[in-house]
Amino acid sequence: MMLAMMAMLGNAQTNMNKAKRLRPYLSTTTYCVPGVTPFVENAIAFDCRTAVYKQFEPGKYKATIEVTTVFRKGEETTFSKVAVDSPVVTDTVNLDGAFIDQQRFPLTNGAYQMEISVVDLNSGDALPTGSMTIEVNYPEGVPSISDILLFDSYTKATKPSACTKSGMDFLPRVYPFYGASDDKLNFYAELYNSDALYDEGKFLVSYYIETRESQTRMQEYSFNKRFDVGKVNVLLNTIDIKDLPSGNYYLVVEMRDRSNALICSNSYAFQRSNPSVTYDMGDLAGINVANTFVSEINNIDSLRLYIRYLDPICTEIERDYSANLVRTQDTKTMQQFLLNFWNARSPMNPKQGFNDYLAAVRRVNMSFKTSSYPGYRTDRGYVFLKYGQPDQIVESPNEPGAYPYEIWHYYSIANQRNKRFVFMSKDAAANNYQLIHSDVVGEINNPRWQLEIYSRIYGEGYDQGVDQTEYENGWGSHAGDLYNNPR
């Protein structure tokens, strides 16, 4: 099941107003009306400060954005074009917040290429078209879970709209980031066809937060709820995240049968910034390292190195703590930290988890080392250790006019599908490839990555305006095609 994702479509410099760069954020979710149709729901939030406002009555101003959405599946095409007005304002200097457009599209099951084009009608500037793959998969009569909607608030629908769900209108949280002042995570999901499990009775739904780096389930943020079987059940809930540390996480929802066997699941990636919560030393104080694999690691330099190796797969709070820990002379605490880390990642056999990871580190140190850095500290080493070996690697060391580059393609990364990383080197002999773009949530995202690769022939100043994201193909240029059609 997919899709639960957010993507920034891009931004464009206006000629009329150099200070304005329209900045939209997209959240896409899929749902189903059993026996009727599946559908895709898009919510696009426009930063008020980046839109151009025009006066339409004395003292009254508004922005108007045109959104064009196209879904393609083989010969099947669904098309929509709407004009979205912002709320009316009387002051265009102190703009704040965002206004949201929500649209719903009934579709059949299958994989679609979704293209979204955005134009600020008051300035005439168009953003680069955003494109992504959407999978709609709700087989009739088969238990499944909708995508998860994060929201800030909801009200009972007095006048149902096309985007009303279960009699409620939701204000979606389009950008899945929770700052220090946010202490509640509100979410909504629909559970379909649980009546296919039993004629009557109840089934179990589990929902919890897990770390994105290691998919470690956080027990203090783990909950269960029982539902009567039915055609559609609604999970509407709030999780208190006041004490959730900074980091990258998944919210996971699972449907389970009476024997607690997993039937289906779905998840949503989000980020949390909470500087007030630090690493809990109490987690380490009671750990006895005697007769464990870490008791055999007594050399402080080796301990420091093994802890530094963990950086790509650490949570943010672990990374901050370990960076300070390796500056100390505290051998015992380093051993406790290392054991605690692998107890969480590989509880059945922490020593094997450590050894397997150490083997991966040795591999990247051999393959990706440069004259300045060991392999694990390079961008390719980081990606390999964090996400594993890619399913495909495209190497292009000698393309005319291009810096040497590599495109790594992963068929699946947790709940994300068909993801890529682009690396580029200005000195291939030094083996120093840097990550310049990825479409994985939480990684560096640069819509203009092709211009970086082909700046070798045109120079660093090559730029035909911020609207341009793709290199105008010349003889022998393949980066765009290899990215979209890896082989």
Provide the residue-wise pLDDT of the chain in tens; the chain has 487 residues. Answer: 333 333 344 333 333 344 467 889 889 999 998 889 999 999 999 999 999 999 999 999 999 999 999 999 988 999 999 999 999 999 998 888 899 999 999 999 999 999 999 999 999 988 878 878 889 999 999 999 999 999 999 999 988 887 789 999 999 999 889 999 999 999 999 999 999 988 888 999 999 999 887 777 888 999 999 999 999 999 999 999 999 988 889 999 999 988 889 999 999 989 898 988 877 666 787 889 999 999 999 999 999 999 999 999 998 889 989 999 999 999 999 999 999 999 888 888 999 999 999 999 999 999 999 988 999 999 999 999 999 999 999 999 888 889 999 999 998 887 677 889 999 998 877 788 999 999 887 788 888 898 899 887 665 544 444 444 444 444 346 788 788 777 7
What 8-state DSSP symbol labels residue 89?
Answer: B
Residue ending a domain, choose from 103, 119, 138: 138
Residue 452: domain span? 390-484
298 shares a domain with 258? no
| Same domain for 401 and 361 | no
What are the start-end ranges of the H helices in 242-289?
282-285
Judge whether 176 lies within some domain: yes
Residues 451, 467: contact at Cβ < 8 Å? no
Do 273 and 145 have their domain in common?
yes
**Is there a single domain that holds both residue 42 and residue 92?**
yes
Q: Which residue is associated with the tokens 């009934």?
A: 106
Residue 268 sits in the same domain as residue 164: yes
Pairing mode of beta strands 217-228, 202-211: antiparallel
- Kindly tell me the sign of the dihedral angle through the C-alpha atoms of 257, 262, 266, 271: positive
What's the rounded Cα separation, in Å, for the pair 269 and 441?
A: 8
Domain check: are 299 and 239 in the same one? no
Domains contained in the chain, number: 4
Whether 176 and 253 map to the same domain: the answer is yes
Is 398 buried (19+), middle (13-18) or exposed (0-12) by CB count in 10 A? exposed
146 and 273 together in one domain: yes
Q: Is residue 22 part of a domain?
A: yes
- Is 385 contained in some domain? no
Total length of the chain: 487
Task: List CB contacts of 304: < 8 A, sequence separation 6 or more.
Answer: 326, 334
Please tell me whether residues 436 and 467 are part of one structural domain: yes
Last residue of a domain, one of 104, 138, 172: 138
Maximum alpha-carbon separation in the chain: 80
Domain boundary among 138, 164, 191: 138
For the chain, state the CA radius of gyration. 25
Write the CATH number for 133: 2.60.40.10
Dihedrals phi, psi of 194, to nearest 5 degrees = -65, -20
- pTM attached to this predicted model: 0.76
CB 448 within 8 A of CB 436: no
